[in-house]
Structure 1
């Protein structure tokens, strides 16, 4: 009962703390016009007094109504893009003050090429949604992440991952240039919010598309952060260190369970030159950089893990990270920017997995327990040099070097039960290590001819990716069939060399229409040498196992020739195109001499339509088609027994997949009410989808066969795969964004295809059947925010998530429905000016998971600001106070369903100190440099104008 009393008390605190400040009885009205009598909708109206500032926007008719808290003298300021700011002193002495027409004079001096300071909280323009950071106030010293959490249509999860309008944000830029290689959390969790002018969410189609203006294919979500002009000269630095301990049953532990954190970041801004240094050391699961899986891995003995990820989002991480970011204008024509990032992380994951395997006659359940430690090292270096000698020519050179390495030590047990009978029961130990250095470079050139609209660009890329991998899985069988070699040493050496070029030429047909011819070529050559040695129990020597070894080389060649027509008008623009794409896959097994030759030919139409109803309302539609080449792991024609129960076997005759993608987006912002609506729909249909064919072998199979009792995965091409998804966000603010109510929902549906095969125990004949696994994932969320500057910043939230999977091959007693309910309250209360009380409580209710508990998770801290200008902060924090945090996840596929429970960092306390220093000169920088990815990222340009490249 104490938990629920605390929850109710926090809810009451949110509402009562905000209600005191919501009273207002004095209204000022007026209409904003220019000198010609034209109304100016969206104009910002500020009412400023000694104790408060109230902000509103003129409605679609240019009219405004703003509330004051008391009688007296106020300063009124009215702003609109392209007009001089109107400043006026007014006296409020009665319930309503009518000002009549407020006329703005035209701005006589316009600044070309600088970031426009938006006067409305949200601006919507084709591929960009822009938020004015000043409209979403946070506490001094807060990171950008705290602002993102307040933006409608933007979600930040507990791990700091950002999604916008239902799609993951994959890259971040600062003033239009990649920041730390585009690492999202590096920027959002380390940049201070008080230097930010605005935040843009951009649908980015790449540098070449930003130059030419012709955008086709799939976009990625990019976050662009623009720095305030008066913050571009100065420095900001922050250092933190803290120590604490785990706590069990309310008593601090005395073993090696101390928690520690140390971090430092320095940002130096000197106009065009920007420097950033970041460092972090902790064992509190805080990663400074995101590098992906940390090294290539195939399925290990403990289950079908891929890409170096743990079974779920659990595990305990010790992180060591260091990074440097650089940007400067070397001359009037040359600019440069780049970064280096390094991390050395150790992750320990304890997991238990229940895997239900689909079968025609013999469904099985596999119980897996695993203790896995991954030591991961990552290096990432990227650099960009932009050369712009004149208005007609632009050149960009981008070299990159990355390295990913992981050493893994895993032990555990596996028990496979089929029809109530134990097929295999074994313990396993596995040691593996891998390294993957990658080198690449990209060269982009664009030329604008004297004829308006005529444009030529070329993009050339090349590189090498290496994968060197060693595995030593050792199995000890306790019962069932001992099918797999008990001790293997597997060495894999993969080299991928690639080169590509894309050319584009645009010819204007009129002032509004353009024709583009484009050609793209890509060549990739892969050598994959896999050697498996097994322990000979007679001689106690390692012998080469020929059936598990193979040296396979293949080349994948793609040509794409296309034609696009684009029309641009004031309200709308569209692109219609068609492309022919032949592909060739040539393979050769050095070991067996077997050669393969696969060709395909696809016609890929494309379409893109943008309609701008107004400055605050837009509709977009995009369709594209593209091929996807198979990876070496599914092509190499050899059996892999690194996982005893689930061997895999490649297929050299696979065709490349071809994806047809359709997306529709509708965005709307209401100037008068501040309501925001974002909706997205997407659909993908894949031809020649690479799918799994799982073959269940009987316990008693051919003598000496290593496949007895296993479930072998082969790969085939199949049609019929499609997926669809949709999302929406509706946000309604009240009382000038002091309160905000938001609804958000996501739904996704996958029509997965697989083949299920069984081997008859007597005749050894194989029976196969196509399985359609229909998977539905539904999420609905609701949140209510209270934002009172320097008083309270709190949120009530709730969400429901459902995953349901049904197979056309019916399986009895299979749990295929999982749901999760999250109920929570989080916030910060600011007390006595310099004190902060923060709380984050979540009640999680799991349904459908075997053995799942319903944890209460409470994190809280109290901190005190002190020293001159509040440069010092001391914080006492408690994490997972009830020590109930768990990590449950499920993964549906066409041939199995898994549910996994893994460890998470439990209850601990941490005392930390933070020192924050900053100094800015207040100067304004010159105009930003040109080229793609500048402020706005190619998404914000004058309505109805030609493409940037023309």
Structure 2
């Protein structure tokens, strides 16, 4: 296998080196004032070929490997008259070209090349025409080609070192901002450009004063010529799970049925999606209730392609539906929103080894789980924007969501402490929970007649209810029975919150502004927890020690003053905020009363320097508090996990985070080289950390704690983390070939406390443990992208995760390494045949019992019918049947290693029908089929994507 892999790599590199040496043709483009014209299009036309370039920041251009002695040079730049010169003597240095201002309309200028990347402030824009994909491909395929962007096997997107958390289409949220819903279902060739934006929220976008930590979002802009028409696709597939069919175990049949419809009618845009499968693919992400990963069989252009390796743990049966709507209600009101639904069933088999850190009684816990989760999710959100007039703007956002979970768990556990078995049990547990959430947000902005003077208010309110019933039943075969053998735990949590932010902006000059802001937030939480135990007589009694009624309030007020200065190439914001906070709580049953007040000062500093259209530097500092959660405050012991009970601390203080980030981006117009780098640092005061208490098996003051490891919570200083990353891409031959390097490093200085209770005296000793964790990843990719011939990528990555604890133990393995090699691509044979392959070789070092899997997914596809609207695909997934999940978690209290089941080898045959009709900037006239009726419900005729 390795020889084949190296042979393929050799062919790639050999193909890239065929070019022969020749002279370099160069020159400089300027305007009539002598200023350079970066981004100008320069086309060199020879007898049988032509090449195109764009000028760099100094206006220079060059063409390497030119052998022709006679050629024509055509130079254009938007806003200037073009030049066309002929050369016959084999010239090299062409000197300076001066372009005159263009007095005619821009529409008369012919642009023969595009600028692939534009960088300005918080936005990096990629032109879709520079990153071409095959007809029918989803947006995700284009996203994979963008420099500085990484899309993993599950469809999660990382850009410039940060996770992309939200998606918009034409500046508006698409399916509530659900990223993979857009990237895996929108067709790529209706896209004009993709923008990666550091978003500070609606209020900041209106005022221009951006503070706090931004959210990385993706905005997809639709081509204007696709504004009227529709795109629809339906996929049906059936196959077999060869392994399960052979042994008669589990589901032997694999199936997928998906459909999508996108209708564009000017301002009105409607999208409908549906997906039913048992191949680990779900349309939507709902946090913990969302999909288990981007497996095969997704909607849109995915169809269960070879690039959709099931990298999620467990086997999922998914049922999903969704609708997205956007329209303009008159001249002043725009409305957009979505509804998403999923009903997923997930079965996960896993084995975990957890090594618990302790200087006196270290322990190793071996767990085996068989868990089935039934998850139902609803999500509805709507946006109404009302542009009252040129001075007033109003936005209203109502939202509703629901998460329901039904879990059946079968578990075996064995705890070995100091070389002997301290505890051994089996567990059967059921859990049922429901959590509806309703909320709303109102944003109002008013511009005054005095230019730059602005007032805005953003108010929000929300209410969440959690109702949960859990029934853990233990059967001990060794050691002391810590938790009650049969519990019925009922929990009811209610969280109500309101908040508002006010901002007033006053211009001091044409370039400077002063902003006064105020923010208020109030959250009220009540929790009723009742634990009933089963008696020998078969009745249930309330267990008072494990039951509690608790409520707490968290109130923050924040007053800030910011100064903003704007120049053509740079802008900065300096400010200071004062934030007092108050945490109050009481528990009648435990007689715990809490009242904690804190005062924090939060400076703000933000600086952006746009050196040119291709180069940007930014610096950002902010401070913000983080309130304790219900589970960290709840003072009653939770024994739902017998070996690892938890108990909150009602005296916790809020955390305060100090965040610093740096970013530098550069794009070279001439070479096409792209470079991104970022650094960030976070220091947390009053960090909420764990205090793990190891109890001996002979502990008698509370026999329920005997032999357990109790987790409590404390505040601690000294926590900090640092992250850094870079990405460099070098394309050549008009991006037919691209070499990319990317690396990331993170370092965490974690704090925890380890407590040990003496076996005889029961005296407790507590020690502070500092866990220094380092993670380093380096990756390399080589892409070749020749339109309608090959689109392939060779990649390699090496990752190290290492943790050192100040309380050391020789028996803890805290050094994990992963080396991965991959080859992913598609070969095209004419307009109708496609061969796809996705091979990954993973090598794990430091994992107990790990294997080094070879994962190969492949398919062959044939397009047919009129205009190739139909396709038949035969797919094979995990041909070597080695897909197994390995993961590790290293904290300053424990280290875990987990192996989980994943979707193994299976085969799938799918048929896809793709229908579309677009009519540019005018309404389409539907063509008629042979029977005189417009297909697809009268929405227009068949068409091919251009």
Provide closer, same or farther for how the CA distance between residues 746 and 119 of structure 1 changes in structure 2, counting only shifts above 3 A: same
Aligned counterparts of 1:380 and 1:53: Cα–Cα separation in 2: 52
Aligned counterparts of 1:813 and 1:529: Cα–Cα separation in 2: 42
* Alignment of structure 1 residues 256-275 onto 2, 5 Å: 256-275=251-270
Provide closer, same or farther for how the CA distance between residues 701 and 827 of structure 1 changes in structure 2, counting only shifts above 3 A: same
Counterpart for residue 242 of structure 2: 247
Counterpart for residue 287 of structure 1: 282
Counterpart for residue 357 of structure 2: 358
Counterpart for residue 305 of structure 1: none
Counterpart for residue 940 of structure 2: none
Aligned counterparts of 1:133 and 1:560: Cα–Cα separation in 2: 43
Question: Is the 1:208–1:444 contact (alpha carbons within 8 Å) kept by the matching residues of 2?
Answer: yes
Counterpart for residue 800 of structure 2: 802
Aligned counterparts of 1:239 and 1:869: Cα–Cα separation in 2: 16
Counterpart for residue 150 of structure 2: 155
Counterpart for residue 477 of structure 1: 476
Counterpart for residue 300 of structure 1: none
Given the alignment of the two structures, is residue 206 of structure 1 paired with residue 201 of structure 2, yes or no?
A: yes
Aligned counterparts of 1:854 and 1:48: Cα–Cα separation in 2: 51
Question: Is the 1:79–1:119 contact (alpha carbons within 8 Å) kept by the matching residues of 2?
Answer: no
Secondary structure at the aligned position of 1:59 is classed as coil
Match of 2:672 among 671, 674, 683: 674
State the shift of 1:74 in Å.
9.2
Counterpart for residue 862 of structure 2: 864
State the shift of 1:876 in Å.
1.0
Counterpart for residue 915 of structure 2: 917
Question: Is the 1:246–1:253 contact (alpha carbons within 8 Å) kept by the matching residues of 2?
Answer: no
Question: Is the 1:145–1:188 contact (alpha carbons within 8 Å) kept by the matching residues of 2?
Answer: yes
Deviations 1:640-684 (A, max 9, x none): 000000000011111110000000111111112111111111110
State the shift of 1:270 in Å.
1.0
Provide closer, same or farther for how the CA distance between residues 273 and 46 of structure 1 changes in structure 2, counting only shifts above 3 A: farther
Instruction: Provide the aligned length of Structure 1 versus Structure 2.
Output: 901
Counterpart for residue 439 of structure 2: 440
Q: Which has the higher contact order (CA 8 A, sep 6+)?
A: 1
Counterpart for residue 707 of structure 2: 709
Counterpart for residue 106 of structure 1: 102
Question: Is the 1:829–1:837 contact (alpha carbons within 8 Å) kept by the matching residues of 2?
Answer: yes
Secondary structure at the aligned position of 2:164 is classed as strand
Secondary structure at the aligned position of 2:102 is classed as coil
Question: Is the 2:317–2:346 contact (alpha carbons within 8 Å) kept by the matching residues of 1?
Answer: yes
State the shift of 1:271 in Å.
1.1
Question: Is the 1:344–1:375 contact (alpha carbons within 8 Å) kept by the matching residues of 2?
Answer: yes
Counterpart for residue 926 of structure 2: none
State the shift of 1:842 in Å.
0.9
Counterpart for residue 820 of structure 1: 818
Given the alignment of the two structures, is residue 143 of structure 1 paired with residue 138 of structure 2, yes or no?
A: yes
Aligned counterparts of 1:701 and 1:434: Cα–Cα separation in 2: 34
Given the alignment of the two structures, is residue 635 of structure 1 paired with residue 633 of structure 2, yes or no?
A: yes
Deviations 1:849-893 (A, max 9, x none): 000011111111111122222211111111111111111111111
State the shift of 1:252 in Å.
9.9
* Alignment of structure 1 residues 251-650 onto 2, 5 Å: 256-294=251-289, 313-537=312-536, 539-650=537-648
Aligned counterparts of 1:295 and 1:586: Cα–Cα separation in 2: 34
Counterpart for residue 907 of structure 1: 905
Deviations 1:615-640 (A, max 9, x none): 11111110000100111111111000
Aligned counterparts of 1:75 and 1:920: Cα–Cα separation in 2: 37
Question: Is the 2:887–2:899 contact (alpha carbons within 8 Å) kept by the matching residues of 1?
Answer: yes
State the shift of 1:584 in Å.
0.4
* Alignment of structure 1 residues 163-182 onto 2, 5 Å: 163-182=158-177
Aligned counterparts of 1:522 and 1:484: Cα–Cα separation in 2: 39
Provide closer, same or farther for how the CA distance between residues 52 and 839 of structure 1 changes in structure 2, counting only shifts above 3 A: farther
Aligned counterparts of 1:253 and 1:102: Cα–Cα separation in 2: 77
Aligned counterparts of 2:644 and 2:609: Cα–Cα separation in 1: 51
Question: Is the 1:229–1:924 contact (alpha carbons within 8 Å) kept by the matching residues of 2?
Answer: no
Counterpart for residue 45 of structure 1: 42
C-alpha RMSD of matched pairs (Å): 2.5
Deviations 1:110-137 (A, max 9, x none): 79xxxx9993111111101111111111
Secondary structure at the aligned position of 1:640 is classed as coil
Q: What 5-or-longer segments of structure 1 have no aligned partner?
A: 297-311, 926-950
Aligned counterparts of 1:877 and 1:729: Cα–Cα separation in 2: 33
Aligned counterparts of 2:15 and 2:248: Cα–Cα separation in 1: 38
Aligned counterparts of 2:373 and 2:113: Cα–Cα separation in 1: 47
Deviations 1:460-492 (A, max 9, x none): 000101111110011111111111100001011
Question: Is the 1:247–1:253 contact (alpha carbons within 8 Å) kept by the matching residues of 2?
Answer: no
Match of 1:892 among 890, 893, 897: 890
Secondary structure at the aligned position of 1:137 is classed as coil
Counterpart for residue 938 of structure 1: none
* Alignment of structure 1 residues 770-849 onto 2, 5 Å: 770-849=768-847
Provide closer, same or farther for how the CA distance between residues 794 and 123 of structure 1 changes in structure 2, counting only shifts above 3 A: same
Deviations 1:22-64 (A, max 9, x none): 5696976554444555431112335689997743211233233
Secondary structure at the aligned position of 2:640 is classed as coil
Question: Is the 1:679–1:727 contact (alpha carbons within 8 Å) kept by the matching residues of 2?
Answer: yes
Deviations 1:74-110 (A, max 9, x none): 99765544447x4869798968796973635436557
Question: Is the 1:495–1:527 contact (alpha carbons within 8 Å) kept by the matching residues of 2?
Answer: yes
Secondary structure at the aligned position of 1:728 is classed as strand
Secondary structure at the aligned position of 2:176 is classed as helix
Counterpart for residue 53 of structure 2: 56
State the shift of 1:323 in Å.
0.5
Q: What 5-or-longer segments of structure 2 have no aligned partner?
A: 292-310, 924-946
Given the alignment of the two structures, is residue 192 of structure 1 paired with residue 191 of structure 2, yes or no?
A: no
TM-score, scaled to structure 2: 0.91
Aligned counterparts of 1:78 and 1:522: Cα–Cα separation in 2: 58
Provide closer, same or farther for how the CA distance between residues 23 and 282 of structure 1 changes in structure 2, counting only shifts above 3 A: farther
Aligned counterparts of 2:66 and 2:101: Cα–Cα separation in 1: 29
Aligned counterparts of 2:533 and 2:48: Cα–Cα separation in 1: 79
Secondary structure at the aligned position of 1:762 is classed as coil
Secondary structure at the aligned position of 1:482 is classed as coil
Question: Is the 1:877–1:911 contact (alpha carbons within 8 Å) kept by the matching residues of 2?
Answer: yes
State the shift of 1:824 in Å.
1.1
Given the alignment of the two structures, is residue 738 of structure 1 paired with residue 733 of structure 2, yes or no?
A: no
